[in-house]
Structures are given as C-alpha cells and as structure tokens.
C-alpha cells in the first residue's frame, strides 16, 4: 500500500472539510456553502461513500482530500501529502518527504524569522529611532491598520541590535546566519544584515515568515535589499502578500501581479485584495506555478519597460501554466500602481478592465521596435516571439498567432511554421538527451488500469498530446494519476516532467513511462490514435456517469426539502447537460444507450 492510499484510508473527508465548511446532513451526503467562491445557496457537496467532494456552482469541479486541501490552502501536492500524513499519523519514507531532521531545521528557521518580525514590528511602533520610517509610511499614505496587517518593521542603524535580542532569546548565532538575519565576517563574528531600513516580512502562502525585504530611509544605495536564499526563502518562488491575497484571488478567480511592496500595500488598503508582488524581479515560472494553484486568470501591472520584457522574454512562463492568456495593464508613463491607485482610483479600475492579452502586448512591443521592411529585423522578431507561440498548447490559439505574426511581418505563414517545427524538434532532442532511465520497479499503487493506460500513451508518445485537449484532472480519480496528468498538462514537450513532481510520485511516473504496449500499438501510429481516443471516451463516460449520479442525489435532496426554484433549475440543467454528454459519448463510441 502506498503512503498516499494509507493517508486516504486514515482520514475522513467529512471531518476534514467540516473544519473549513459548515456542513449539513443531506440524505447520505453533506452540503454547505462552497469555500472557493461566494454564494448564497449551498452548491458544495461531500460524498462520504466515495470520499469525494464536488461544487455544482461556479467552480464546477471536485476531487478528494488531497485536491481539497491543495485548493483551500493554495499548496502543492507534496505539501498537502506532508500535511495530511502528519494529521493521519502516517510515516513518510525518505523518498517521499524530507527527513524529520530537515523538517525540524526548517521549522526552527521559521520560528527565528517570526521572532525577528515581531521584534522589528515592535521597534517600528515604539522606538524613537523609527520616526523616519513612520514619517515615510505617512507620506506614502500607508495607514496604521495596513502597517499592522502586514507587520511592517524597522531596524535601527546599529550593528548588533537584532543579534543581541535573539541571542538573548536562546537562538544560536549559527542559526541566525543560516536564516539570513546575520552576515558572517571573514575574520570571524557576525553582524545584523539589515540596518536603518523599513522592513517588509515576506510570507509563504501559509503565512509563515520566510524572509524580509528592506528599504533604505535615506539616499544610500541599494534602495532595496532582500534576505539571501536560505532553506526556507527563495525570491524566485516568493510572491509578496500572497498569504493576505489568497482568499480574494479565489473569490474573484483573478490575481493582479505588481512589482513593488508599496504597490501591494496601497492596493490592499484600497480594497484590491487580490494583488500580490513579484518584488522587483521578472516574473518566474515558479511564481506563476504558485499563483496557478489559486487561479488561471493573471494580470500583470508592471513598469512599462519591465512589462515589455515580461511579455516577450517571460511570457512563455505565464502561457505554460495558464489555461487562458494572461493580461497586461498598460500604466501611464512614469506611473506605478501605487501612484495610480492613490491618486485616481477610477483610472485604476478602468486600466484593469482594459488590460490587453499578454501575447497581443508582446506583438506590439516587439514588432513596434523593428523595421518590417528589413529581412534581418523580421528574423529578429520571429526569433523573439516564436518561443512564446511554441508554449501555447491549444492548436487553434497557436495557429491564430502564427497567422498574426506572418501577417504583421508580411511573410509567408509556411516560413514561420517551418521555424516552429524546427524549434519543436530541437526541444524534443533535448528532452531525449535528458530522459531518465525507465524504472523496472513493479507499481504497487492502488490505481486505475484505464487511467494508467491513457497516461502511459500520452507520456510515451508526445504526438498524441492534441488528442487530450478534452481531458481534465477530474477524469482521473486516482490521486497519483491525477497529479501526474496535471503536471503533464502544464508542462511543455521539452521539459523534464520528473523534476516538476513531488518525490512521492517519481516511482509511479517511472512505472507509466516504462509501461509496455502490444506490438500493434508500438508499431502503428493510427492504432495508437484509435486506442487513446477510446480511452478518452471511456474516461469521459465514467466521469459523466459519476456527475449524473451526484447531481441526481443533490436534486433529490433539494426536492425533498423544497429547495429554491433557481437552485433546482440550475441542478436540473446540469443534470440535462451530463445526460447529453453521455448521449454524445455513446454516439462517438458507436453504441446505443440501452446496450450497456
């Protein structure tokens, strides 16, 4: 038995969900207001017999205990596994989670940072030396409430203030250095990293302090510095304010990413609580992946020049992890979000509403700077835009941008398609050169043969990817298969999927990649296409039957209790939809509904 299966057997989904949702008994099942979107009437159901949940409202999605915790807490599968394993008293092997000693080491660093944040915040509130920091916040119109909510702090212009305080609390100097709070001297000893600065505690999505950002209070340089990389802090994966913004991002199903700390503070203060900050860096793929767990709708509100770079050089990161295109807010010249929000809130609202697709902005940014009458400039534009076009998984959208690029550069569409094929072939060669050896271990996980067969085809034969457009994570009931599919779906053909998965899933991935197929499938592309198409139809049929059963149960409960007409109508419409989906599947499979 795998630890994933053991965790699911040890925990009850009703008990887990009821800690976050007020559930009411509804026949053999439970219902409540969905925790992932705002609603007045309960559309969220928990099914104890299947140990699953489903939202029949705006979310229109469901899953098991793992997907619930991942969605509720905004964490990845590995974090959810460790959290739930600890709750269920399930021991994790060395391949599936960090060692206990490593966990304790990180927890110690979290405690250190928390103590430092409290001390810095106390100094900002009460120290006479912090008057300049308080005056700066007042000039920037940051209220006392916002200062407290984000726990802003101050460090005095001294070499060992924090060091003396934390050593007095019993923390060893070595740990203070490891946490990035102190800097070691070459000749021995150490001193405070932050001095005479306004401090911004940086938290992970769970609200734990991972590091600090610090701004000078005079004209010295650099203006901003951050904690160094530590076992718990990596600037490339962090988003400022995500712990405060996660609920609003889920409710609005949208995230706005700004550049600076002050942009985030001002936005939240003006009730734009779905705003997070990239902390002055170009948006990274890891940052996008973190946001993607909360929403697939991302809007960038960055400095004009930086936004241009984002759209062209980092745009593929957004497209790789989102099902829809990210948007870009075009700010007035010389203005940042902080200024626009403070000085003209209606203008900010208008700019958000008029945000343009990132690919459209990329085209405008790149093509606007070249001379389309020169062959060399045309080649340069293709070179800069093609990687972002290549990242688009939807073939219709990809074809749209190929045609758009050809039209704007006044070149043959076939020339761009040749370049696109060459780029794809180059990434496939790179993928093959990096491919790990296939594991020969026998998979002992409780899984679904149908799901495994489908995944193995997709993993071993990349040309089948376009056929899987109609599949979603809900088609995979087995936790391991669902996680592998989700990461495969988000990945590009040239990426190493193993590096993106939690270590607890690597053995299962190797099993799928090494799964053997009959000669007919190995030797015939046409047979593979038919085989995968049949797998997909069977998975769709299974999901439609499951949803139809769940909706019928929900309908029956509402009818018995005299449910609100609008809610009944909504559920009945959904029931009709799933019935029609089943009918369509039967037609595709060439069989009659009554011939089961």
- Which residues are registered as beta bridge partners of 225? 214
Rounded Cα–Cα distance for residues 348 and 370 (Å):
31
**What per-residue confidence (pLDDT) applies to 427?**
63
Mean pLDDT of 146-162: 97
Higher pLDDT, 127 or 103: 127
**What per-residue confidence (pLDDT) applies to 446?**
36
**What per-residue confidence (pLDDT) applies to 548?**
81
Of 69-78, 123-132, 314-323, 482-491, highest mean pLDDT: 123-132
In the predicted structure, residue 318 carries a pLDDT above the cut 60 = no
**What per-residue confidence (pLDDT) applies to 559?**
63
Q: Are 464 and 457 in contact (CB under 8 A)?
A: yes
Mean pLDDT over the full length of the chain:
83
Helix, strand, coil shares, percent, the chain, to 5: 55, 10, 35
Backbone conformation region of residue 172, classed left if phi is above 0, alpha if psi is from -120 to 50, else beta: beta
pLDDT, tens digit (0-9, with 9 covering 90-100), for 200-247: 999 999 999 999 999 999 888 889 999 999 999 999 889 999 999 999
Residues 301, 307, 310, 315, CA torsion sign? positive
Mean pLDDT of 56-82: 89
The CATH number assigned to the domain with range 100-233 reads 3.90.980.10
Rounded Cα–Cα distance for residues 509 and 459 (Å):
9
The CATH number assigned to the domain with range 252-363 reads 3.40.1360.10
CB-based burial of residue 587 (10 Å sphere; 0-12 exposed, 13-18 middle, 19+ buried)? exposed
pLDDT, tens digit (0-9, with 9 covering 90-100), for 247-297: 999 889 899 999 899 999 999 999 999 999 998 766 777 788 788 888 888
In the predicted structure, residue 319 carries a pLDDT above the cut 70 = no
Q: Which residues contact 103 (CB under 8 A, 6 or more apart)?
A: 97
Q: Is the peptide bond before 222 cis (omega within 30 degrees of 0)?
A: yes
- Please tell me the total number of residues recorded for the chain in this structure: 596
CATH label, 449-589, candidates 2.40.240, 3.30.70, 1.10.860, 1.10.10: 1.10.860
Confidence grade of residue 100 (pLDDT, cut at 50, 70, 90): low
Reported for 39-42, long-range contacts at CB under 8 A and 24+ positions apart, including other chains, are 41/564, 41/566, 41/567
**What per-residue confidence (pLDDT) applies to 503?**
79
**What per-residue confidence (pLDDT) applies to 92?**
77
Assign 416 to helix, strand or coil.
helix
Which range, of 313-322, 387-396, 411-420, 507-516, averages the lowest pLDDT?
313-322
**What per-residue confidence (pLDDT) applies to 263?**
96
pLDDT, tens digit (0-9, with 9 covering 90-100), for 468-502: 988 998 899 888 899 999 989 887 665 678 777 88
pLDDT, tens digit (0-9, with 9 covering 90-100), for 428-442: 555 544 444 333 222
Q: Are 15 and 47 in contact (CB under 8 A)?
A: no
CATH label, 3-88, candidates 3.90.580.10, 3.40.50.1010, 3.10.50.30, 3.40.50.970: 3.90.580.10
Higher pLDDT, 565 or 65: 65
**What per-residue confidence (pLDDT) applies to 434?**
41
Total-model pTM: 0.65
Higher pLDDT, 561 or 124: 124
**What per-residue confidence (pLDDT) applies to 514?**
82
Tell me the CB-side half-sphere exposure of residue 53, using CA atoms within 13 A. 31
Rounded Cα–Cα distance for residues 180 and 192 (Å):
9
Buried (b) or exposed (e) across 403-418, using 16+ Cβ within 10 A? ebbbebbebeeeebee
pLDDT, tens digit (0-9, with 9 covering 90-100), for 359-377: 888 888 788 888 889 998 8
**What per-residue confidence (pLDDT) applies to 281?**
64
Which range, of 111-115, 178-182, 307-311, 518-522, averages the lowest pLDDT?
307-311
Assign 296 to helix, strand or coil.
coil
In the predicted structure, residue 28 carries a pLDDT above the cut 70 = yes
**What per-residue confidence (pLDDT) applies to 569?**
52
In the predicted structure, residue 314 carries a pLDDT above the cut 70 = no
Tokens of 247: 């609920």
pLDDT, tens digit (0-9, with 9 covering 90-100), for 496-515: 787 778 878 888 888 888 88
**What per-residue confidence (pLDDT) applies to 327?**
87
């Amino acid at each position: 038995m795998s630890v994933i299966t053991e965790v699911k057997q040890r925990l009850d989904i009703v008990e887990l969900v009821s800690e976050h949702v007020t559930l009411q008994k509804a026949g053999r099942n439970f219902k409540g207001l969905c925790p992932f979107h705002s609603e007045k009437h309960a559309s969220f159901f928990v099914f104890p017999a299947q140990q699953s949940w489903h939202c029949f409202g705006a979310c229109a999605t469901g899953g098991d205990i793992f997907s619930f915790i991942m969605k509720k807490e905004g964490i990845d599968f590995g974090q959810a596994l460790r959290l739930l394993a600890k709750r269920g008293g399930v021991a994790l092997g060395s391949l599936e989670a960090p060692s206990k000693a490593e966990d304790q080491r990180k927890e110690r660093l979290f405690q250190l940072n928390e103590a430092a944040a409290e001390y810095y915040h106390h100094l900002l509130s009460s120290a006479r030396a912090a008057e300049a920091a308080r005056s700066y916040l007042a000039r920037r119109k940051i209220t006392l409430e916002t200062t407290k909510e984000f726990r802003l702090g101050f460090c005095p212009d001294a070499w060992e203030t924090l060091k003396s305080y934390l050593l007095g609390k019993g923390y060893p100097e070595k740990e203070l250095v490891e946490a990035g709070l102190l800097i070691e001297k070459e000749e021995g000893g150490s001193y405070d990293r932050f001095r005479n600065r306004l401090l911004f505690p940086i938290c992970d999505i769970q609200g734990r302090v991972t590091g600090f950002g610090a701004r000078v209070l005079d004209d010295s340089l650099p203006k901003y510095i951050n904690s160094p990389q530590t076992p718990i802090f990596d600037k490339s994966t962090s988003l400022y304010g995500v712990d405060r913004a996660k609920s609003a991002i889920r409710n609005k199903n949208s995230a706005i990413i700004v550049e600076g700390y002050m942009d985030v503070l001002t936005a939240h203060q003006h009730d734009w609580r779905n705003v997070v900050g990239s902390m002055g860096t170009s948006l990274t793929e890891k940052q996008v992946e973190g946001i993607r767990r909360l929403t697939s709708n991302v809007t960038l509100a960055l400095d004009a020049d930086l936004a241009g770079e984002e759209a062209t050089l980092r745009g593929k990161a957004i497209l790789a992890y989102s099902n829809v295109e990210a948007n870009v807010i075009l700010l007035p010249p010389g203005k940042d979000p902080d200024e626009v929000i403070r000085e003209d809130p209606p203008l900010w609202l208008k700019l958000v509403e008029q945000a343009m697709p990132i690919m459209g902005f990329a085209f405008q940014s790149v093509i606007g700077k070249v001379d389309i009458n020169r062959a060399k400039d045309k080649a340069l534009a293709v070179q800069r835009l093609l990687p972002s076009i290549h990242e688009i998984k939807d073939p219709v959208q990809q074809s749209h941008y190929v045609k758009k690029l050809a039209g704007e550069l006044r070149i043959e569409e076939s020339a761009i398609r040749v370049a696109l094929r060459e780029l794809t072939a180059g990434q496939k060669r790179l993928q093959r050169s990096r491919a790990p050896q296939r594991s020969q271990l026998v998979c002992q996980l409780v899984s679904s043969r149908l799901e495994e067969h489908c995944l193995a085809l997709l993993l071993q034969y990349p040309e089948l990817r376009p056929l899987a457009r109609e599949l979603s994570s809900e088609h995979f009931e087995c936790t391991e298969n669902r996680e592998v599919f989700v990461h495969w779906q988000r990945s590009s053909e040239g990426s190493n999927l193993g590096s993106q998965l939690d270590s607890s899933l690597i053995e299962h991935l190797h099993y799928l990649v090494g799964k053997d197929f009959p000669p007919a499938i190995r030797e015939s592309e046409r047979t593979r296409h038919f085989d995968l198409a049949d797998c997909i139809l069977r998975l769709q049929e299974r999901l439609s039957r499951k949803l139809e059963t769940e909706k019928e149960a929900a309908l029956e409960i509402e009818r018995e209790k005299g449910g609100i007409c609008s809610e009944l109508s909504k559920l009945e419409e959904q029931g009709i939809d799933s019935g029609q989906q089943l009918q369509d599947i039967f037609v595709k499979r060439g069989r009659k509904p009554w011939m089961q």
